[in-house]
Chains A and B, each alone.
Chain A
Amino acid sequence: MGLKEKTVGDLTEILGPESIISDDGAMRIADPIMVRTYAKAFGYVPEHRPLCIVKAASAEQVSKTLRYCSDNDIHVIARTGASSSEDQLLVIDDRTIFIDGSPMNRIVDIDTENMVVTAQCGTPIAALEERLNADGYTLGHAPQSLPLASMGGLVATRSTGQFSTYYGGIEDLVCGLEAVLPNGEPIAIRPVPRRAAGPDLRHIAIGSEGALVFITEVTVKIFKWYPDLMWKGGYIVENFKTGLAAVRDVMVKGYKPSVVRLYDKADVDHNYGSVKLKNEEAFMFFTVEGPGGVPEAHGAAIHQIALSYGAEHIGVKAVDHWFLTRNRICDTIGTEKEYVKFRETNVYNATLEICANWGQIGEIYDEAMRTLPEVIPELVMLGGHVSHSYMNGTNVYFVYALKMGDPASAHLAQYRFVDAVCDVVLKYSSATIVHHHGVGKMRAGRIREELGSSFTLLEMLKQSIDPGNIMNPGCLIPIG
């Protein structure tokens, strides 16, 4: 009996036939999105397919499945919204199953007295946010993948949202969680306002990308929502460097706009086209949220800071356009429309996010913009924007497009681009090669350099929690 037949048979016996999907068609499309969809457009057949997909409807089912996989050396990829972008969901061998937590989509509890919500891992964030908005609350977490993503995956990838400068990244929002260890043992980290009982164990799960545990339920903060009080301001600045200085000033002075974004012309033209910029100019905008008085006061101060850097105030219309179109990319991902464009133009659009402190981010941006076109012949466009800022630094989100060759090996061009960016970034002491998309399999090869001597801690965690290396091998930590 082959491995697939045995695994499917055993899991069917444990969970019931309605929980197992194993037909060839479903296995063929189980591949992750992003660069693999480019290959799919040309009829790419994945080299490796999962043995089956387990649709887990409860933590107990996750537990039983993981226990089985641990006992039988079956590898597991955790999946909910399937919107990750760094090949987290890429199947790399022939003994892997997906545990799909999307049936676990219940909002367990909304506690407005204590300002937390508990939701299962498969709860679509868009549905949860809509539910909260109806009552005047918000998660404060709005990734560009909002139309597609689910809570479990967002926590697992340590994601950040478009309003993170004010509300924080997911790591600031998670109060507690429940998960299942690779051996099937369930664990729970109770949600408390703060705890000093040793290292913060939440952070073993947050950002673990399915390589350590399977997250089954999360409790996150919620916030009062004041959409009608939002302050917005759009500006054109002389150049990207000036914009960086202005953004830094805003952050260092202590303001926390919910959105702070700075776009170079290439990015604006390619992705939005909403602001007509001259050659070196950059588009910068802010939003401020909060209770009465705060948005206006902070907005007025931010406005003065922007003007002090020679920025031209262009009002709010461009910001409104950004709100309207910010997640539109989700409408075409994986659709036939996208496939036709791939087949006709051979152009694939992608992004890569890095982060560094204020003193180095400008240099990193300049060096990347100068060197990447030289080392990546397939580059069709390259631009960047700032989208998540901190007291001590900010990110840069490179947006780029590659003209691909042979579809089956197209991903290699993207991997080379990623490596080229890592080559630039890793020269800078304050920089990280990954801001919020996660390492996945795409950047796993550079994780040792990224973490330096602290990589040993990650290895130890992996070895003690997942000694059999069944949890998404190759993701986060490279094989070998």
Chain B
Amino acid sequence: MRIVGIVDASCPGHGGDTAARLMGAAARAGACGGGAEASLWCMADGGPAPRRPWPAGRVVIAEGASAAAGASGHCPEAPLKALEALVREHRPDLLLFPADRAGRELAVRLSARAGIPCSLDVPDLAPDGDRLLLFREIYNGNLEAVFPCETPHILTLRLSGFEPAAPFADPEIVRVRAEAGGDAPCVCRNVLVEAVEPEKGLEDAGLVVVCGAGFASESAMEQANALAGALGGVVAGTRPVGIDGRVPPSRIVGISGTQIQPRLCLVLGASGARAFAVGIYGSACIVGVNTDAQAPLFKSCDAAAVCDAGEFARALTDIVSSKGKRGGADARDPRRMSQG
């Protein structure tokens, strides 16, 4: 089976770890049937070729093919055209994209152009004899479904469930020059990108304080920030809280946001509806606070308190501050991992 992982060098989320996990997924997929030949395709801009430890034995760098390469600033046409050409040439059986904004758009549009079916937001896959099975959350995360995966197929993967592949000592690097991409000047103009969310997202946060709709007033957010500060963590919100502008979209937790994997997740004032709960399942420890003793949230918690979230937050902030403790090392801090 020919399996390809695809990253766009211009996407902030497509760093080394993303590529490594894509190739880890490729290895898992390749365990079905008669083995696999895995490559990494990297859509790059026209500058010096990215240098990194590559997690694949074969790397194709498509120069001038990143979404940022076009004249219009941000344009998926550039990587799409390059991918179409590469697919025509190499005819992969599986194309793996990260399940993020860029990955979704590229995967679907490539699927339409290349006539290859696609499945999105796949958190897991498993070989089953000669075939591959895909696992997907459906109905807002309330059910998990298993789908058969016929090849060729395009997947976007939720990479947190895949182990990163080890770097290759001496990969084969192939450079190809992409066709001039980008939207024609007649399509759009005056494209400006304003970086408004410089802080990193939630994927690597070791400690997260999540505010639900019941704890999302201005003063509540102040308390949440104070608590997160004392704990050394970050503040996130459920989707209603994000829609209301209390947290930026990069800090929304749930099926339409990020699925987090912190060591500690404190959930304040959220009912725990499944579409949100899916976002916190990966947490090592979940503590929930809600005034409703029947809140579904508590089924997902390791520990809980039935009380006012604001009063709880204030009290916990005082306790933590008085102890002088700050935690919140990255969820994947290697020092911590080595301590077992």
Contacts and interface: CB of A to CB of B under 8 A. Distances in A.
A touches B (Cβ under 8 A) = yes
Contacts of A464: none
Interface string A130-172: 1000000000000000010000000000000000000000000
B217 A130 contact: no
B293 interface: yes
Interface in A258-299: none
Interface residues on A, range: 10 to 19
A47 interface: no
Interface in A5-53: 25
Interface of A, helix, strand, loop or mixed by DSSP: helix
Contacts, number: 28
B138 interface: no
In the A-B complex, the 3 residue pairs with the closest CB atoms: A336-B216, A337-B240, A337-B213
Contact of A336 (B217, B271, B292, B293): B217
B295 to A, nearest CB: 9
B158 interface: no
Contacts of A340: 243-244
From A127, A147, A331, residue with most partner B Cβ within 10 Å: A331
Contact of A337 (B219, B244, B293): B244
Nearest to A124: B291
Contacts of A335: 213-214, 216
B218 to A, nearest CB: 9
B216 A337 contact: yes
B136 interface: no
17 contacts: A25-B219, A126-B293, A127-B293, A130-B293, A331-B214, A331-B271, A332-B213, A335-B214, A335-B216, A336-B213, A336-B216, A336-B240, A336-B244, A337-B213, A337-B241, A337-B243, A337-B244
Interface residues on B, range: 10 to 19
A77 B15 CA distance: 61
B21 interface: no
Contacts of B216: 335-337
A127 B292 CA distance: 10
Interface in A317-343: 331-332, 335-337, 339-340
B246 interface: yes
Contacts of A339: 244
Contacts of B214: 331, 335
A130 B291 CA distance: 14
A198 B52 CA distance: 93
Contacts of B293: 126-127, 130
A336 B246 contact: yes
Contact of B241 (A127, A331, A332, A336): A336
A132 to B, nearest CB: 14
Nearest to B219: A25
Interface in B302-333: none
Nearest to B238: A337
Contacts of A130: 293
A337 B292 CA distance: 18
